[in-house]
Structures are given as C-alpha cells and as structure tokens.
A and B are shown apart, each in its own frame.
Chain A
Amino acid sequence: MSEPIENVNDFIKKVLEIAFWVLIFLPMLIFPIILIVENYLPTKISTLMANPDPEMIFALLDSDFFRVAVFPGFTFAAGFAAFIGLWERKILAKMQMRVGPLYAGKFEGILQPIADLLKLMSKEIITPRGVDKPIFWAVPLITVAIAASLLAVIPLSETSVIARTDVGVLIIFAILSFFPIAALMAGWASNSKYPLIGALRALHQMVAYEIPMILAILGVVILSSSMNLLEIVRIQENIWFLFLLPIGAVVFFITALAELERVPFDLPEAESEIVTGWLTEYSGMLFGVILGIAVYVKFYAFAALFTVFFLGGWHGPSVIPAEIWFILKTFLVITLMIIPRGVYPRIRIDIMLRAGWAKLLMLSLLNIFVALLILELGILPVR
C-alpha cells in the first residue's frame, strides 16, 4: 500500500491486486493447514463440506477438540471475557453517574468489545529498541496460554468439562505458580523502569497471596476429601461450602482480587504511579492480547473457581440447564469482583503485604480449623 489511492481506477487496481495475491496464497497456505489439522478431528472437514451429515456434525460437537476449542474451552471463555470488559465499563460508569460505552451497537454500546478489538488490531505494534526480543514477543503468548490452561479443569456441568482429572486442585496450584514468571519476564524484557517495578510488585503480591489462597482451598479439599473439581461440586448438592466455610470464601475472594491485580490490589499496574506496570512497553495487538484476552480470561477462570469451590457449581433448581446455572453464578461473582473498583482506592504495598502475610494467613488457618471441626461434628458425611 505504498501509493496513495486517488481515483476509482487505482482503487479497482488495488483490489484486483489483493485478490490476485489472496488467490495465490490461499491454496498454498491455508488448504494444507486444513488438511493437516483435520487428521486430528473425529470427522474430516473436507468430507463434511462435500456432503453434510447431521450425525457427523453431532459427533464433532461431542469431540474433545470441540470441548477444548469452543464450548467450555477457549472461544467461550474469550467471548465471555470480552463481555466482562464491556460489563465492567458499564457498571463503573453507572456507579459514577456516567453512561459508559454508548454508541457502538444499537443497544447500550453492546458492540464496544468488537470496536476495541478492531482499533487495537489497526494500531502499530512498536518494539522498543532496547528490549529483549524473544522474551518480549513470547510473553503475550505465554500469558494467554497460562490463563487458558486454567479453563481445562473448570467443570461447567457433569458433561461439559474438558479434563476429568483427580488432581484438579493441584493443577490449579501449579498454574498459579506460572503467573509471576510471566510478569517477571515481561518486566525484565521490556528494559525499562516502570515495567521492572511493576513486575517486582506483581511478584511480591502474587507470592504473598498465593499461600492464603491455597490454604483457603485446602479447607474445601478437607471437607470434600477429594481434589477432583467434579467431586467437589457433587458434594455441595445439598449445602454450599459458602455457608460451611464463610471465612474460606472471604479469604479466597480477597486473594483472587490480589492475584488478578484488580483494585484495591492493582499495584502492579497502577496507572497513576507507574504508567501500566509490566504492560507499559506493549502496544497495539500485543497489549490487546495480554489485557483483553489473558487478563480477562483469568478473571473469568477465578470467578468460575469461586463458583466451583463455594457456590455449588452447577447445582440449582433444574428449571434451567446446569451450564446456565453455572454461568449465572459466575456472572454474579464477576459483578461482585468489579464493584470494589468503583468504591475503594489503591492501598499501599506495605499494608497489602502485611495484610496478606499476617491477617489472611491467620484467617485461612482458622478456616482449616473450622473445616476440621465440621468433619469432627459430622455435619457432612465422611467418605
């Protein structure tokens, strides 16, 4: 696109040129990729396109690939994440007597995520001169991969779950330990003051709040005597763990806010102090990938984990399907997590660390004590 377009002739010429290159490259690149990928699917896409058969389509909907890529997996979570972004902006606007996004889409700016996406995609990606390029470019990919891998263990219902594993809680702990590494890598590779400060703050905060979070989940594990998330939800059929372990629920909620770097714990990306923290040097779609997809998918995953551990997962009157119950509860948790952003100021880092190491740790130990007491009194049947 070097020459400026001045008249219709030029425009038609340009369009024909683009069409020519597309026709050249499409068979060369995209069709071989489809032919390779479809070997890993239960049905062949090329066969399906030639003669559509409803049974084959249903088989595709029931496959592992569909689960990972579409429904309980990534596409659903990313779409939900985009919606959370819009919902957050609307709620904050209403709390501050503003209107929020209004013009994109006919109703209350409902197409604003798509407008944001197009804006970010059309922006230039700047790689600053001093950065460490391999790590700098790897970080967006790594953050999205870590956030998305949390989705594998979250059960939306008995049937729509990706991994039915016995070590679900341990997998969550393992994935939690990757987030500070990604932040540190971003902060170091950016070769700039603010990202490094933000990354060190992120490390302090995540390490300090990981331990109370793990201990809070430990109470749930003690009561359900299983580390399988499906089993944890099944045992809450009659009574949610929110009522049995209220302290654990509060601790998990607060530590989730801290792990998500949300207000009042948004020190790693404090806009008014250190630009955007460890995201400062990222621009264009790289920033969009980290903030728009990774951070909000992580947000959805933590809200879903709160639902699994304390709100009884998919259980509810069977008027509505189980998945819808789960999504409704998750949505409620997300709304509760957004509200502090409109209410509280950012707290100082020493206060935050002292609260994490001293108070929340004590509370989570108390939570374990309560869980053991409940087991001893025999309120829940021991299995």
Chain B
Amino acid sequence: MIDIPFLILSVLAIVTAIMALESKEIIYGAVSLAITFLMIAGFFIILQVPFLAMFQIIINVGAVAVIILFTVMLVGTGTVVATARDRKNSIFAITVGIVFAAGLIIILSQWPGAIRAVPISLSIKEWVGGIASMLIGPFTPVFLTAALLLTAALIGALTLAKSEGTPEEVKDG
C-alpha cells in the first residue's frame, strides 16, 4: 500500500539530500538541506505526530539551516565550488552506504512493527506528557549528556571566535 503523499515526500527528500551533498554551489546545498528537513517533518505529519513535525521544523529549518546559510554567506562569495573529490573515498562511501541500507532493510523487514501501520490518535497532552516523562525518567543520562555536549560545543565555538584575531574581511556577495 503506497500512498501518493508518502511517495512524493520520499522522492523529494532523497533528491534534495543528494543535491545537498553533490551540488557545486554551497548555497544550493544549504537550501536543499533545508528542504530535506522539511520533507522529514512531512513524514512526521503523515505518521500523525504533528508535535514532532513542528519541532523538526523549528530546530532543523529554523536554527540549523539558518546557521549554515549564514556561515556560507559570511565566509565565502557564495560561489564556492566544491573541490574535486577523491575517487577512492567516494567509492568507499557509496559501499558503506549501500551496506548500511541493506542492513537496515534486513533488520526492519524482520521486525513485525515495521510492517503493520499503527494509527496513533493521542492528544497533545498525552504526547507531551509521554515525551517529558521519558526525558526525566529513563533517558535522563542521555538528555544530560546531550546538554553537556551542546554546552561544550558552544564554549568551543566562542573560544574559536575569540582566538580568530582580526575579523576577516567579508567579500562582496
């Protein structure tokens, strides 16, 4: 049973993901990455979890994509051409990707939950409550580790920005 919205979303997500990796202009890559995140939010909406979909958009499109676009615009002229790839590395990457995808397909096809579609009809309070009790309950160490990691990244970024010295001249866009 394949429905049309799912098909459109999957095709767009895969195409934009490939574009994000392969496009010659970095800004096209950044915009395609934002579209990929949007399509993944679409998957969440199809799965009837609008709460997660909205957070996907807020965090990944609103913060991550904006930061990437901002960096691209401040660093280069925008027409930065990706350097020629190492052929050996790309073959290795494609092999790893195919093996990983095959592994996922094999594992998921043996898992009964993947095949039967479970319609979820919970209210937002149950959803948020469930997520909150999971974060404060069994997943507290993971939650705290992620928070610590993000703080460390923030401090690292600040240190890097401080030690830059004279600010680099921004070229004309």
Q: Known contacts A170-B51, A171-B54: does B172 contact A203 (CB below 8 Å)? A: no
Contact indicator per residue, chain A 83-116, by CB within 8 Å of chain B (1) or not (0):
0000000000000000000000000000000000
**A170 touching B54, Cβ below 8 Å:** yes
Q: Which residues of B contact A166 (CB under 8 A)?
A: 50, 123-124
Q: Is the CB of B51 within 8 A of A184?
A: no
Of chain B, the residue at the smallest CB distance from A187 is B173
**Pairwise interchain contact B173-A167, C-beta atoms closer than 8 A:** no
**Cα distance, A177 to B69, chains bound together (Å):** 13
Closest beta carbon of chain A to B132's beta carbon, Å: 14
Are B54 and A174 in contact, with the CB atoms below 8 A?
A: yes
> Which B residues from 28 to 74 make CB contacts under 8 A with A?
31, 34, 50-51, 54-55, 57-58, 61-63, 65-66, 69-70, 73
Chain A residues within an 8 Å CB radius of B172:
193, 196
Residues of B within 8 A of A150 (CB): none
Q: Are A174 and B62 in contact (CB under 8 A)?
A: yes
Is A240 engaged at the interface, CB distance under 8 Å to the other chain? no
Between B51, B63, B73, B123, the greatest number of chain A beta carbons within 10 A of the residue's beta carbon is seen for B73
The answer to whether B61 and A178 touch across the interface, beta carbons within 8 angstroms, is yes
Give the complex CA separation of A36 and B57 in angstroms.
Answer: 32
Residues of A within 8 A of B78 (CB): 188
Known contacts A167-B124, A200-B73, A227-B124; is-contact A177 B173 (Cβ 8 Å): no
Q: Is A191's beta carbon under 8 Å from chain B? A: yes
CB nearest neighbor in A for B34: A181
Q: Which chain A residues border B50 with CB–CB below 8 Å? A: 165-167, 170
Report whether A191 and B173 are in contact in the complex, using a CB–CB cutoff of 8 Å: yes
- Per the bound structure, the CA–CA distance linking A195 and B78 in Å amounts to 14
List 10 A-B pairs, minimum CB-CB distance, nearest first: A177-B62, A170-B54, A196-B173, A166-B124, A174-B57, A167-B50, A174-B54, A174-B58, A184-B69, A173-B58
Q: How far is the CA of A195 from the CA of B172 in the complex (A)?
A: 11
19 A-B pairs with C-beta separation under 8 A: A132-B27, A165-B50, A166-B50, A167-B51, A167-B54, A167-B124, A170-B54, A170-B55, A170-B58, A174-B61, A174-B62, A177-B61, A178-B61, A181-B34, A184-B69, A184-B73, A195-B173, A203-B66, A203-B70
Instruction: Say whether, besides A170-B55, A171-B54, A227-B124, A188 and B73 are in contact (CB < 8 Å).
Output: yes
On A, residues with C-beta under 8 Å from B are 132, 135, 165-167, 170-171, 173-174, 176-178, 180-181, 184-185, 187-188, 191-193, 195-196, 199-200, 203, 207, 227-228
Q: By the criterion CB–CB under 8 Å, are A193 and B69 in contact? A: no
Total residue contacts A-B, CB cutoff 8 A? 67
Q: Bound state CA distance, A203 and B68, in angstroms? A: 13
Tell me if B66 and A184 are in contact (CB < 8 A). Answer: yes
B3 to chain A, nearest CB (A): 16
Q: Which of chain B's residues have a CB closer than 8 A to the CB of A176?
A: 62
* Contact between A173 and B54, CB atoms less than 8 A apart: yes
List 13 additional A-B contacts (Cβ < 8 Å) besides A173-B54, A181-B34.
Answer: A166-B50, A167-B54, A177-B66, A178-B61, A184-B69, A185-B31, A188-B69, A188-B73, A188-B78, A196-B173, A207-B66, A227-B124, A228-B124
The CA-CA distance from A181 to B34 in the complex, in Å, is: 9
Q: Which residues of A contact B123 (CB under 8 A)?
A: 166
Give Cα A191 to B171, complex, Å.
12
| Shortest distance between the CB of B151 and any CB in chain A (Å) | 18
| Assembled-state Cα–Cα distance A181/B124 (Å) | 29
Taking the closest CB of chain B, its distance from the CB of A314, in whole angstroms, is 23
Residues of A within 8 A of B27 (CB): 132, 135, 188
A177 close to B57 (CB less than 8 A): yes
- CA A165 to CA B173, docked complex, whole Å: 41
The answer for the CA separation of A207 and B63 in the assembled complex, in Å, is: 9
Residue ID in chain B nearest A165 by CB atoms: B50
Nearest CB of B to A99, in Å: 41
Q: Chain B residues with Cβ under 8 A from A178's Cβ?
A: 61-62
Provide the residues of chain A in CB contact with B58, threshold 8 Å.
170, 173-174, 177
With a cutoff of 8 Å between Cβ atoms, the chain A residues found around residue B31 in the complex are 135, 185
CA distance A167 to B57 in the complex (A): 13
Minimum Cβ distance to chain A for residue B129 (Å): 12
Give Cα A165 to B45, complex, Å.
12
Q: Are B73 and A181 in contact (CB under 8 A)?
A: no
The listed residue with most B CB atoms (<10 A of its CB), out of A166, A173, A174, A228, is A174
Contacts of B65 in A (CB 8 A): 181
Cα(A339)–Cα(B58), bound, Å:
32
Closest to B65 in A: A181
Nearest residue, chain B, Cβ from A192 = B173
Residue of A at shortest CB range from B127? A166
**How long is the Cα–Cα vector from A6 to B170 in the complex, in angstroms?**
56
Contacts of A200 in B (CB 8 A): 73
